[in-house]
Amino acid sequence: MPELPDVETFKRYLDATALHQSIAETEVFNERVLEGVRPADMKKALSSRQFNATHRHGKYLFAHLDDAQWLVLHFGMTGRLKYYKVEDSRPQHIRLQVRFTNGYHLAYDCQRMFGSVTLAADTEQFIQRKKLGPDALRLSWSEFRQAFQGRRGRLKPALMNQHILAGIGNVYSDEILFQMELHPELSVARLSKEQMHRLYTTTQDVLQTAVDARADPERFPNHFITPHRHDEGTCPRDGQPLQRITVSGRSAYICPRHQPAPD
DNA sequence: AGTACCACCTGACGGC
DNA sequence: TGCCGTCAGGTGGTAC
- Length reported for chain A: 263
The answer to whether A6 CB sits below 7 Å from nucleic acid chain C is no
Euclidean distance between CA atoms A35 and A3, whole angstroms: 20
Closest CA to A108 of A46, A172, A41, A171: A46
CB A74 within 7 Å, strand C = yes
Q: Which pLDDT value is given to residue A172?
A: 95
Q: Average pLDDT for consecutive 10-residue bins of chain A (263 residues)?
A: 94 97 96 93 95 96 91 94 93 95 96 92 93 95 94 93 95 95 94 96 96 95 94 91 90 93 86
Residues whose CB is less than 8 angstroms from the CB of residue A116 and which lie 6 or more positions away in sequence, other chains included: A33, A34, A35, A72, A73, A74, A76
| A163: CB within 7 A of chain C nucleic strand | no
Contacts (Cβ under 8 Å, ≥6 apart) of A175: A206, A210, A224, A225, A226
Distance A112 CA to B9 C1' (A): 5
For residue A173, count other CB atoms closer than 10 A to its CB.
Answer: 25
How far is residue A164's CA from residue A55's CA, in Å, rounded to a whole number?
Answer: 20
- Checking each nucleotide's C1' against the CA of A132, the nearest proves to be C11
Q: Which nucleotides of chain C are near protein (any atom < 7 Å from a CB)? A: 7-12
Nearest nt (C1') to A172 (CA)? C9
- The rounded distance, in Å, linking the Cα atoms of A237 and A101 is 52
Cβ-count burial of A98 within 10 angstroms (0-12 exposed, 13-18 middle, 19+ buried)? buried
Q: Any idea which nucleotide's C1' is nearest the CA of A60?
A: C10
Q: Given this model, what pLDDT does residue A113 score?
A: 87
**Could you check: is the Cβ of residue A255 within 7 Å of any atom of nucleic acid strand C?**
no
**What is the distance between the alpha carbons of residues A21 and A142, in angstroms, rounded to a whole number?**
40
* A104 DSSP β-pair partners: none
Query: What is the model's pLDDT at position A87?
Result: 86
Other residues' Cβ atoms within 10 Å of the Cβ of residue A38: 11
How far is residue A74 CA from its own chain's centroid? 8
* Enclosing H/E stretch for A195: helix A193-212
Q: How many CB atoms lie within 10 A of CB A5?
A: 26
Check whether residue A185 has its CB closer than 7 Å to nucleic acid strand C: no
d(CA A39, CA A122): 20
